[in-house]
């Protein structure tokens, strides 16, 4: 236990208390690795003077801080507390503490400075110590040695050396004297007779490196490793180990090789036969489980369906996608992955591989496939066929080369380099509305898309819009206007009334389409947390801008000009109608399509700017 040096002042700057600390030893030196010279204070500089091998040295450490707010408790950080390593081999030290400003500028929270040598880990700094460090003494670690002679000097006088049997003498460069250590293979107290005892390395696998544990043999101060019969070598993992005799190796290798080849051939034949049978049975099982028989009956009863719709085999679609190679992926979504494929007749198709399918709704799935196969609308992606031989059915659609409308509006694809003009945006909006109107009112069984968004609108070579992704679509019986279902869709596009009531209607698609209209107008995403919080939802932001008469401030560049101002205004009004909170107040998709058709036919009249009486 070593004294703490301190340097205390009154508020006026007069010295109140000043104590230096010192230590002088003959047989011991201060450990460098176990101790630190530590200084505590906010206006403090401390020095440690000592001797190492007869030479004087001085080390110092300065700690400055201006308030307790900058002080961090725990290990010394340099603010309020600093520490440095001390030289090794010191046996005489003195510590003094000084102040820059007599603590007058920090006296309200730090009247004293402190300095001491302390064992590492035994002093944990706290800002409370700046007010008062009550410890008078702190622990310090000292190094010891036997005598003041080296091993060689002590060996000349055999009676003076204290290392006992199975031990060896060790010199330390920074300590006068020597120490004793047990020899390799022994453990115990080297200063006692019979204190160093042999270790049985074979009992503990971590103490030996024999390749075979049972061939380890303990010896005095070590061990040996043996090899089994017909083998030779040192038996150690760090050496050559155990090597089989050449002749034995040849015999064993020949017999084993012949046997192995025979076994592999027989097993492979059985494996491939069994695997093929299992694969055929599994395909049949999936085909029936996924409603293949029902689908065949339905298609045969529907006129024209069997001509354009095909039930593909799993092998055909694997080959078309190069076994579902990653490079063939053209889209990913919450419900599955879409691959680009090439059929044997060189037709390019899009193959949708869903993640899951509800076995309890297979019949409904088959009905939807039959209905979609009969949809023949230029603005709806054509369903060409399906595959039911896999655990999850695969759907085959026509391939639409220019990707999603989303990428072209928001420039998020390397292919979306063409800027969509107002005329093109208006045409795309009309085509989407026409497709949704067809699904709602002209299809054999009305269909609610349920996930209308710009990523589900694809553009072909001529930038003609095609509605896609009917993974969450719902068939609506003619005698029902609404369905109670679990809420599904995409945040930012979801109908708020549907979210609250779980009642899905055709007007839910109208709301989602209204968000797409606003995307076309503003060029902004439906939901973006990069925008301010009140603007994160595009639909709400649009309605707010409408209320504040700031609509033209949020339009995309190049949308509105003198020639199309009336069209843009009417387009805004239509988007506002679609975004009504109550579904009953929204127009039908048929009405929306009609209004957009009228907007496209609008032309700027030469008398528009003439005031009339």
The predicted pLDDT at position 547 comes to 87
Strand order, beta sheet including 15-19: 15-19, 5-9, 112-119, 35-40, 81-84
Confidence tier at 481 by pLDDT (50, 70, 90): low
Select the highest-mean-pLDDT range: 92-106, 232-246, 250-264: 92-106
Residue count (the chain) = 613
Which residues, 6 or more positions from 64, have their beta carbon under 8 angstroms from its beta carbon?
Answer: 42, 43, 44, 79, 100
The span from the first CA to the last CA of the chain, in angstroms, equals: 106
Give residue-wise pLDDT tens across range 361-379. Answer: 566 667 667 767 778 899 9
Helix (H, G, I), strand (E, B) or coil at 8: strand
Give the fold, CATH level 3, of 2-144.
Jelly Rolls (2.60.120)
Measured from the Cβ of residue 113, the count of other Cβ atoms closer than 10 Å reads 28
CA distance 71 to 131: 13
CA distance 353 to 578: 33
Structure tokens, 190:
């080297």
Structure tokens, 276:
């093929």
Window from 129-133, 200-204, 468-472 with minimum mean pLDDT:
468-472
Environment class of residue 17 by beta-carbon count within 10 Å: exposed (0-12), middle (13-18) or buried (19+)?
A: exposed
* Nearest-10 Cα torsion for 148, 149, 155, 159: -30
Contact 431, 464 (CB under 8 A): yes
At the second CATH level, the architecture of 151-198 is Ribbon (2.10)
Q: Give me the residue spans of the domains in the chain.
A: 2-144, 151-198, 277-399, 405-603
**Looking at per-residue confidence, does 89 or 39 come out higher?**
39
Q: Span 403-408, mean pLDDT?
A: 91
CA distance 171 to 470: 84
Select the highest-mean-pLDDT range: 36-40, 275-279, 472-476: 36-40
What percentage of the chain reaches a pLDDT higher than 70? 88
Angle at 219 between CA 214 and CA 222, to 5 degrees: 95
- Whether 541 has a pLDDT exceeding 70, the answer reads yes
**Looking at per-residue confidence, does 521 or 248 come out higher?**
521
- Whether 612 has a pLDDT exceeding 60, the answer reads no
At the second CATH level, the architecture of 405-603 is Orthogonal Bundle (1.10)
Q: Span 548-566, mean pLDDT?
A: 84
List beta partners, residue 138. Answer: 2
Active-site residue list: 451
Confidence tier at 235 by pLDDT (50, 70, 90): confident
Q: Span 191-208, mean pLDDT?
A: 91
Which residues, 6 or more positions from 82, have their beta carbon under 8 angstroms from its beta carbon?
Answer: 38, 39, 61, 62, 63, 76
Contact 107, 11 (CB under 8 A): yes
Confidence tier at 53 by pLDDT (50, 70, 90): confident
CA distance 600 to 505: 28
At the second CATH level, the architecture of 277-399 is 2-Layer Sandwich (3.30)
The predicted pLDDT at position 613 comes to 34
Q: Span 390-413, mean pLDDT?
A: 85
Q: Span 259-265, mean pLDDT?
A: 89
- Whether 607 has a pLDDT exceeding 50, the answer reads no
**Looking at per-residue confidence, does 292 or 192 come out higher?**
192
Average pLDDT, rounded, for the chain: 85
The predicted pLDDT at position 459 comes to 93
SS3 string, 508-565, reads HHHHHHHHHHHHHHHCCCCECCCCCHHHCEHHHHHHHHHHCCCHHHCCCCCCCCCCCH
Give residue-wise pLDDT tens across range 166-179. Answer: 999 998 877 778 89
Window from 13-17, 330-334, 435-439 with minimum mean pLDDT:
330-334
Confidence tier at 603 by pLDDT (50, 70, 90): low
CA distance 533 to 47: 57
**Looking at per-residue confidence, does 293 or 261 come out higher?**
261
The predicted pLDDT at position 300 comes to 62
Contact 102, 12 (CB under 8 A): no
Q: Span 142-168, mean pLDDT?
A: 84
Give residue-wise pLDDT tens across range 331-365. Answer: 876 667 889 999 999 999 999 887 666 666 566 66
- For tokens 């042999």, the residue is 198
Select the highest-mean-pLDDT range: 20-29, 66-75, 294-303: 66-75
> How far does Cα 109 stand from its chain's mean position?
46
Structure tokens, 378:
């230029």
Q: Label residues 44-71 b or e (16+ Cβ within 10 Å = b).
A: bbbbbbbebeeeeeeebbebbbeebeeb
Helix (H, G, I), strand (E, B) or coil at 129: helix
- Whether 609 has a pLDDT exceeding 60, the answer reads no
């Amino acid at each position: 236990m070593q004294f703490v040096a301190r340097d205390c002042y009154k508020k006026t700057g007069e010295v109140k208390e000043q104590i230096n600390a010192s230590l002088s030893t003959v047989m011991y030196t201060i450990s460098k690795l176990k101790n630190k010279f530590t200084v505590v204070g906010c206006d403090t500089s401390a020095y440690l003077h000592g001797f190492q091998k007869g030479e004087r040295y001085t080390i110092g450490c300065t700690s400055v801080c201006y308030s307790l707010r900058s002080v961090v408790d725990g290990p010394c950080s340099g603010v309020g507390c600093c520490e440095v390593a001390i030289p090794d081999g010191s046996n005489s030290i003195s510590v003094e503490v000084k102040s820059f400003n007599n603590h007058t500028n920090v006296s309200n929270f730090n009247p004293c400075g402190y300095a001491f040598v302390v064992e590492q880990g035994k002093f944990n700094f706290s800002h409370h110590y700046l007010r008062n460090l009550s410890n008078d003494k702190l622990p310090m670690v000292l190094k010891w040695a036997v005598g003041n002679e080296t091993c060689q000097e002590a060996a000349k006088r055999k009676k003076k050396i204290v290392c006992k049997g199975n031990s060896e003498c060790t010199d330390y460069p920074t300590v006068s004297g020597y120490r004793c250590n047990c020899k390799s293979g022994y453990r115990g107290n080297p200063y006692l007779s019979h204190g160093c005892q042999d270790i049985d390395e074979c009992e503990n696998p971590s103490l030996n490196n024999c390749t075979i544990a049972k061939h380890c043999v303990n010896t005095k101060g070590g061990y040996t490793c043996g090899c089994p019969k017909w083998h030779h070598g040192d038996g150690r993992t760090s050496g050559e180990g155990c090597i089989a005799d050449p002749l034995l190796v040849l015999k064993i290798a020949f017999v084993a090789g012949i046997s192995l080849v025979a076994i592999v051939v027989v097993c492979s034949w059985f494996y491939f036969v069994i695997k093929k049978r299992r694969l055929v049975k599994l395909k049949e099982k999936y085909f029936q489980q996924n409603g293949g028989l029902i689908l065949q009956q339905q298609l045969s009863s529907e006129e024209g369906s069997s001509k354009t719709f095909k039930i593909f085999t799993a092998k055909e679609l694997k080959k078309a996608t190069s076994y579902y190679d990653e490079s063939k992926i053209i889209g990913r979504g919450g419900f599955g992955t879409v691959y680009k494929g090439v059929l044997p007749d060189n037709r390019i198709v899009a193959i949708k591989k869903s993640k899951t399918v509800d076995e309890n709704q297979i019949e409904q799935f088959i009905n939807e496939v039959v209905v979609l196969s009969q949809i023949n609308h230029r603005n709806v992606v054509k369903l060409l066929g399906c595959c039911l031989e896999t655990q999850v059915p695969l759907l085959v659609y026509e391939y639409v080369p220019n990707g999603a409308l989303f990428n072209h509006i928001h420039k998020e694809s390397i292919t979306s380099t063409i800027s969509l003009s107002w005329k093109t945006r208006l045409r795309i909006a009309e085509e989407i509305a026409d497709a949704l109107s067809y699904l709602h009112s002209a299809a054999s069984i009305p269909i609610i898309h349920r996930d209308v968004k710009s990523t589900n609108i694809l553009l072909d070579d001529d930038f003609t819009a095609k509605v896609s992704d009917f993974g969450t679509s719902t068939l609506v019986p003619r005698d029902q206007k609404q369905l109670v279902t679990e809420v599904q869709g995409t945040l930012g596009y979801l109908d708020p009334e549907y979210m609250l009531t779980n009642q899905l209607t055709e007007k839910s698609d109208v709301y989602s389409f209204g968000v797409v209209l606003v995307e076309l107008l503003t060029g902004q995403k439906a939901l973006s947390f990069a925008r301010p919080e009140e603007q994160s939802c595009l639909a709400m932001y649009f309605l707010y801008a409408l209320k504040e008469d700031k609509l033209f401030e949020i339009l995309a560049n190049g949308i509105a000009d003198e020639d199309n101002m009336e069209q843009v205004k009417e387009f805004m009004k239509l988007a506002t109608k679609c975004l009504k909170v109550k579904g009953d107040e929204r127009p039908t998709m048929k009405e929306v399509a009609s209004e957009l058709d009228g907007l496209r036919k609008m032309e700027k009249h030469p008398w528009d700017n003439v005031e009339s009486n």
